[in-house]
Structure formats: C-alpha cells, structure tokens
Structure 1
Amino acid sequence: MQLIGPSPTERREYQRRRKRLIKAIGKRSAAIVPAAVEQQRNHDNPWPFRQSSDFYYLTGLAEPDALLLICPKRPEGEVIAFVQPRDPERERWEGPQLGTERAPAVLGIDQAFGIEEIDERLPELLKGYGKLYLPFDEHDWVVRALGWCDELRRGARAGVQPPQTFKDVAGPIHEQRLIKSAQEIDRLRRACAVSVEAHLAAARGVHAGLFEFEIAAILQKVFASAHGEPSFAPIVAGGSNACVLHYRANAAELKDGELVLIDAGAEVDYYAGDITRTWPVSGTFSKPQRALYQLVLDAQLAAIEAIGPGVSFDAPHQAAVRVITEGLIDLGLIEGPVDEAIEAGRYRAYFMHRTGHWLGSDVHDVGGYRVDGDWRELEPGMVMTVEPGIYVDPQSEAPEEYRGIGIRIEDDVLVTEDGFEVLTRGVPKEIDAIEALFAGRRDPVSEPIE
C-alpha cells in the first residue's frame, strides 16, 4: 500500500522545522500554511499533482487540499492540520488518503480536522493572537483571513480581539529553508546524482540527425527510472537555439559542426538538481567554439573557487564577470580596458544573466539574496548553482566565426564549513574529457538508444 505521510525518522525532522518556525514568529503570532490545490488539465483529467514546497517542508504530506495551522502556546495544541476526510469510494479510484483520524500520529501534530471545517474553526483558533502569518501570494487565503477577523471583531465587546497585523508567512519559512539540514543535503545529493546520470546518458545519445526532443527523451527516461521527474522543463538547444536563454521548443535537428546546450535536472523526493553542459555534436570543438568554451569554463571555475562561508553571494558572479570580460577583450568581441569594460557593462552583450541562484526544493529556491540592501553572506548548508555563459546572437556584429554560438556550464555547489563541494562534478566539462567521452559514443542508427 502507498505510504501516506513521512516515515518516523522524517516525522521528527518535520517537527523540528515547525518548532523553529514557532520560535521565529513568536508566541503571540499564528501562521497558516496551505497545501497546493489539484488543478484540472481538461474536463475530469487533472495535471500531475505537486505539493507546495513550503507545506511539504513543514509536514511531509503530499496530499492536496490541506492546511497547516501553527498556534503557539495554545493549551489544546500548537500544531493543527486540516486534511481531507477519508472517503472509501474515492480511495477505490485514487488510492489511500491520510484522513483526520490518522493525521496526528502520522504527521506528529496535535490535532486534525476536516478541510471543510476551516471557516467554522479558524476564527475561534485565532483568538488572542496579535499577528497572523499567511501566504500573501495567494489572494484567496488573504480574503478568507479577513473574513475570520471580521467575525472575531464582532465579539469585541466581550473582549475578543482578532489579529491586528498580517505578515507574509513566506518570510520566516524561506529564511529557514535557505540553510539545508543533513537530511536535505542527502536528498539534494540524490537529485544531483540522478541529474548527473541523465546528462551522461544524453551525451552518449547526441548525434547529428537526431532531434532535440529525442535527447530530452533520454533525460526524461533516466529521471523516471529513479522515480523522479524533471525539476523544470528540460532545455535541449542545438546551434543558435542555445542563444535563447530559456529555449523550450526542443524541436530542431542536431547538426554536425554545431554545439548543443543541455540544461536539465532531476527532482527526486522534492529536491532538485540543475546541470547545464554544452557538447559538440560532432564530438570535437571547432577553434572558435573551443575559445569561447574555455573562456566560460575558466569563468565558472573562478566563480566556484570564490565560494565559501562569509563570502558575499555576489562574489562568484564578480569573479566570473572579470574572467569573461578579460576573455572577450582578448578575442576582440568588446573593447577594454578591463575595469572600464566592467564598469560600463560591455560584457552584458554576451553574458546577460547572473552566475547562479539558490537550489533546494525548488530549482530556483527561496531565500533572499540581500539582507538590508547588502548581498547576503554565504553560510554552510546553503546550496547554489554556478552557471556563467556566453551567447553570441546570430544577428550580432561579432566576428562571423563566433555568431550563433551559445555556451553555458552549470554545476550545483554546497557551501561547507571550510569552502565548497561541487555536487555535480560527475559530468565532464574539460574540453579533453568531453572529446574523450564523445569518442566512445555508439551509432544510434546501427544500435538504437535504450
């Protein structure tokens, strides 16, 4: 039978997370964290369900249509869940449900009620709290909370006070999610390992005459074989398609002499990997491709070396910008000198995005990049991507031999106590290693891809 909710070991981790949230919001504040709602694709056919990352982070429950209420110092319990009551007929069609009877023991909470009781019970449960934390990005919950407060306000003569302040619950949860626990790092390692395996399989499948979607299918098979799914829609961009940063069509034919950029990652157990590699379709780089590729690789290595505790989040980006700017000047793509070119932002004609983002339950994970206007300092347990790139638009005024070349190299990096750990180092990125890998490819015409 399908497991509903977390294992006993996992349950203790979720309880610790809820206790940290209670400490963060204070004893006179309550918080509501809703689950995701199942969405219909068409008629009675739903989209595959994916739980809200915040709700899952605090409960480990993957069911839709639920709500977590945090109410510190309440005598009858500080953690209450509203879940779908068990329905034998629905379970026959869709599988087992947690239900209100099992929820307290399985989730490690104090009480559980049916989801249909929210409007009846919430006004009473919110009595005595000065602040209410709720999701500002979900308008319906804000409107409902205003209704609960209006109901409480009608009892003001009897001394009943509704919450006077609304705060965004995303703030304290996302700050907490930014530093990964040992359990989360284990899950990230797994997601990264599956992502590595998928990229290696895709590299072995790259051949002229195949289509981008065929390479995407190789990635998808590896993800599914590990009981995972894509952490985002895979990008497989051959030739000048790689100059489109979020290329999605995946419909063009791969051609000898061109590069193919593959940006993809696996999500396994609600944690994401995110890797980009750029491969030569023929198996070897041309001279212009080699020059630009080595420049991106040098920038990426410099950015990774800049990572460590106490370092500004912006430091890896600035390291990459300097290397890329120096290289673009040397290749005649922009004018120097270096400091002036950086100050003027001339490199942005070819490198127009940041060098990385947080990684975790979401592929672009949560947590502020600045604190009080200044770049945040990195801390052990943070995980980030490092992904510089160079993109020479086919219509640009760059020398002809560089036009239409797009290159990005991306790895996932854990900040450790004494520096960093590259979680995705299993995918080759040095030119000699790539060409050696491609020399061992098989011919998909005579030997079909598995």
Structure 2
Amino acid sequence: MTSLAASAHAERRARLCAQMAPGAVAVLPTAPEAMRNSDTEYPYRHDSYFYYLTGFTEPDSVLVLVAANGARPAQAILFCRQKNLEREIWDGFRHGPDGARAAFGFDAAFPIEDLDGEMVKLLANAPAAYYALGHSAALDLQMKTWLQAVRRQARSGVTAPAVAHDLLAMLDEMRLFKDDGEVALMQRAARISGRAHERAMRASRPGMFEYEIEAELLHEFRKSGAQYPAYTPIVAAGANACVLHYNANSAQSRDGDLVLIDAGCELDSYAADITRTYPVNGRFSAPQKLLYELVLAAHSAALAAVRPGRRYSDIHDSAVGVLAQGMLDAGLLDKAVYGNAENAIAERAHLQFYMHGTGHWLGLDVHDVGAYRDVRADDKPSRRLEPGMVLTVEPGIYVRPAAGVPEQFWNIGIRIEDDVVVTTDSHAILSDNAPRLAAEIEEVMGQR
C-alpha cells in the first residue's frame, strides 16, 4: 500500500540511475516471507529500500535498474509473481507483471520465474553491478551464479561487470532526506500516534496492567488507519521504566507509579516514534515532577540545536549538559566530587542515569538509515543538519536503586521523545499534538 504517487518512486529511480556508471545494472530484491510456525507466516512487510524505489508491496519481487548509456535511456524492470486467480482466492490480489508495470510506472515487467535468464542477459557487457554487498547470502549466491553464466560467454566476446558497488550506501544517503510527500505522511503517522498516547493517558488508572494500556494504543492506531505499530510498544510502569528496551508489558501498575510509553504507528510504511511519561494516578509527586521538568528542559535544549548548519552531535551535547547539571542539583551526582557539569560529563558520571543517545533518524524504518558522520572528511566529524532530515529528540533519566542515590528518586524512569523535521531555517515538531508539559498531562488525566 502506498499513498505516495507512482511518479515519486519513479523520480527516485531516475536519481539513483543518474549516480550509476553508464550502462551499469542494479539489483534490489524485496524481503522474503517468514514462517511464524507450522504453516502460518508472519504478517508480510516489504523491504524498505525496495519500497522506496517502487511503492510495490508484494513478496517474491525484484527490481532491476539499468543506467542510461549514450542514446539508450535508463530502464526500470520489475520481476514479480504472475496473476493466479486460484491463489488470489486464498491470499488476495496480485498485480501480475502487466498490472504492476502499468500501475507503478516500470519500463518492463516479467514473471519472477524469468529472473535468472533475464539477469544473465542484462549483466552481459555491463561495466558494473550495484547490489547490497554482503547483506544477504542468498543474493550473494544469486549474483555469483549470474556472473558465472555471463563469464561462460567470454568466447563470444561477452564480458561480465568488472566492479561491484554497494547499492545500499547510495540509497542510505537518498533516504536520509525526505521530500514533502514523505514529511506529510510522517506528520499523519505522528498525529495518529500522538492521539494514541493521549488515549492511553485518559484510560489509565492505578491497578491497570501494562497490556491493558497497550491495547488503548493499538486500538487508536488501527482505528485511525495505521497498518501496524512501527515497533513493539514499550509500556513500562514503575521500575520497568528504567529498563530501556522493556516490552513484556505484563506488570500491574500501582498508585504512585510513572508510566513510560514508547510507541508509534506505521502508516503506509512510514514510522512514528513518540515517548511520553505520566503518573498513572494523574498527578506527579514532587520528586517525579522535579526529574520530569529536568528531562523537559533537556528536551528543549536539544530541540534548540535542531536547525540547518548545526552538527548532529550538538543535539546530544545540549541535552547532556542540562541533564548533568540537573543531576548535580538534585543530588543524584555529588557536587563535592564533580564540582560542575563539565567535570561530571568528562568523568562520564551522568551515564549512571542517562546512558543512551538523544535521537536517531526516522523514516521508513524507525531507526532509519543514513550516516551520522561526515564520511567525506578525514576526521569524520558529526554531520551537519540539512533541511529534509527527520529525526527523534529523546532525552531521558533512569534512576535505579543504588548506594548514594536519594531514595525519593528510586525507580523513576522518564523519557520524552518527539519526531522532528529540519526545515529551511529551523525545525518543526511532527508529534506536537501529544501532551508534553506536566500541566498538560495532568489536565488531560484530570478529564478522565
């Protein structure tokens, strides 16, 4: 399923072909189906790279691109399953090669069974091959088989590609920059996810199980048209919020607990990723509110660093500076030992309570592709932000019981995460409809 026009995918294919050597061939399969158990498959999810270039969501499909060479224009060729009316009764609609070519704007389309024979023809005399080097043992073996078949024609003057390039590295850089259609789609995904977080807040009561709260999220996702969660939701009450990747979602909340929810939907293949933390009884205690306001201040400092020209690392550094000072002021870190935030950070003392990064790229994958460093420079500094990049901003604090840690803060885990797009002069928060301020959260929960 795609809500982006076929022309958007075609334009991406054209841009990729323009970066390839003249006459070179690129090969990109979609994801295979995976068995869950016995004869039951997991719900199918296409490969993100494949979808980015095609908009096509059926399994058993391969995209082949042939770059322009002189007067010969570039070609986009799809291999996919044939129409099969009997199988469609069981498994649903198939486009078939002719239908796919017409609907998605390919130059040619063939049955997937023809792939081996056609690839040997397409690779003959091509100067280079582009594919996901080392990404899939099955694809590596296929490429080896095709190239061997081409080399067997050497006596007829046929040559095999002499160079192989990593296709994914090129696509990573393309996918890092979202166009207007992608940003609009991610805005919708974020809005749905924000409503789901607010729904969970309104539904929450002390004594509810984490999975009951999770059900509120999933209800809002599907009710609003999202196909899936973008990842397994985290619904963590009390001490569970101090486990970064907790997802058992099976414990019972207690009066006085904070609940940390990290959840976002996937809408038409694009992900949202939002975290909110709130008191299950509707009111922050004094220690909870102190740490919540600290994380919120770190969130604001990190957001201020999201603008064109700033380095990606500035986002994390801004958040850590605020958090480390707050840890000293709250007594989580000993001022007599560290003196100031700079020393605490230099000694890595803040890692006891904040041990992860402050965000990641976001897009077709929840942890989306793209380099975080400028690989063109010798020292590979953190790359500068540019318009069209979409990322998360997600500082947090996690206080486990330990000697020297004030007991009033034990088992408090807080994270605040939003989805942000870099604009031409600043940034825009895609997930701004999810209540974030402590007063907003308490107001929403007071309406239960």
With the length of structure 1 as denominator, give the TM-score of the two structures: 0.94
- 4+ aligned runs moved over 3 Å, structure 1: 74-77
Check whether the contact 1:6–1:107 (CA below 8 A) recurs between aligned residues.
no
Give the direction of change, closer, same or farther, for the CA distance of 1:328–1:77 in structure 2 (3 Å limit): closer
1:70 corresponds to which residue? Answer: 65
Match of 2:399 in 1: 392
- 1:191 is matched with which residue? 189
Q: What percentage of aligned pairs have identical amino acids?
A: 43
Aligned amino acid, residue 351 of structure 1: Y
Quick check: 1:367 aligned with 2:403?
A: no
The question of whether the paired residues in 2 share the 8 Å contact of 1:240 and 1:394 is answered with no
Write the letter of the residue equivalent to 2:185. R
- Which residue matches 2:32? 37
| 1:328 counterpart residue number | 327
What secondary structure, in the 3-state scheme, does the structure 1 residue paired with 2:358 have? Answer: coil
Residue matched to 2:350: 347
Return the match for 1:47 from 42, 45, 64. Answer: 42
Deviates more, 1:407-416 or 1:420-429: 420-429
Counting only pairs closer than 5 Å after superposition, residues 285-296 of structure 1 correspond to structure 2 as 285-296=284-295
SS at match of 2:26: strand
CA distance in 2, matches of 1:47, 1:213: 21
Cα deviation code 1:216-235 (max 9, x no counterpart): 00000111112212000110
How many residue pairs get aligned? The number is 436
Answering whether residue 30 of structure 2 is matched by residue 21 of structure 1, we say no
Q: 1:138 matched to which residue of 2?
A: 136
Using the TM superposition, name which of 78-87 and 66-75 deviates more: 66-75
- Distance in 1, Cα, partners of 2:113 & 2:299: 52
Show the counterpart of 1:242.
241
Cα-Cα RMSD? 1.4
Given the alignment, which residue of 400, 411, 423 partners 1:416?
423
SS of the equivalent of 2:327 reads helix
Give the Å deviation of 1:395.
Answer: 4.1
> Does structure 2 conserve the Cα–Cα contact (< 8 Å) formed by 1:306 and 1:315?
yes
What amino acid sits opposite 2:316 in the alignment?
H
The aligned amino acid for 2:41 is P
Matched, 1:129 2:140: no
**What do the CA deviations read for 1:176-208 (whole angstroms, capped 9, x no partner)?**
111001110111011001001100100101110
Structure 1, 258-267 or 430-439: larger mean CA deviation: 430-439
What is the one-letter code of the residue matched to 1:338?
A: A
Q: Structure 1 residue 259: deviation in Å? A: 0.4
- Within a 5 Å distance, the mapping from 1:40-439 to structure 2 comes to 40-73=35-68, 75=72, 78-136=75-133, 137-228=135-226, 229-334=228-333, 335-372=338-375, 373-395=380-402, 397-439=404-446
- Is the CA contact 2:24–2:127 (under 8 Å) kept in the aligned structure 1? yes
The amino acid across from 1:145 in the alignment is M
SS at match of 1:375: coil
The gaps in structure 1 that reach 5 residues or longer are 442-450
Q: State the Cα distance separating 1:28 from its structure 2 match.
A: 4.0
Distance 1:338-1:382 versus aligned 2 partners, 3 A rule = same
Question: What CA distance in whole angstroms lies between the structure 1 residues aligned with 2:20 and 2:186?
Answer: 27
How far 1:396 sits from its partner (Å)?
5.4
Q: Counterparts of 1:319 and 1:308 in 2: how far apart (Å)?
A: 13
Once the two structures are superposed, what CA deviation does each residue of 1:28-51 show, in whole Å capped at 9, x if it has no partner?
A: 422111111111212221111111
Q: 91-100 or 14-23: which moved more?
A: 91-100
**In the alignment, is the contact (CA less than 8 A) between 1:235 and 1:261 conserved in 2?**
yes
TM-score calculated relative to the size of structure 2: 0.95
Are the equivalent residues in 1 in contact too, given 2:2–2:268 (CA < 8 A)? Answer: no
CA distance in 1, matches of 2:438, 2:198: 15
SS at match of 1:330: helix
State the Cα distance separating 1:419 from its structure 2 match.
0.1
Return the offset for 1:105. 1.4
Q: CA deviation at 1:397?
A: 3.8
For 2:403 and 2:139, locate their aligned partners in 1 and report how far apart those are by CA, in whole Å: 48
CA drift at 1:20 = 0.7
Contact 1:389–1:408, Cα closer than 8 Å, also in 2: yes
Contact 1:77 1:110 in 2 (8 A): no
Cα offset, 1:6, TM superposition = 5.7
- The 1:76/1:29 distance shift into structure 2, 3 A limit, reads closer
Q: How far apart are the structure 1 equivalents of 2:342 and 2:328?
A: 11
Unaligned runs of 5+ in 2: none
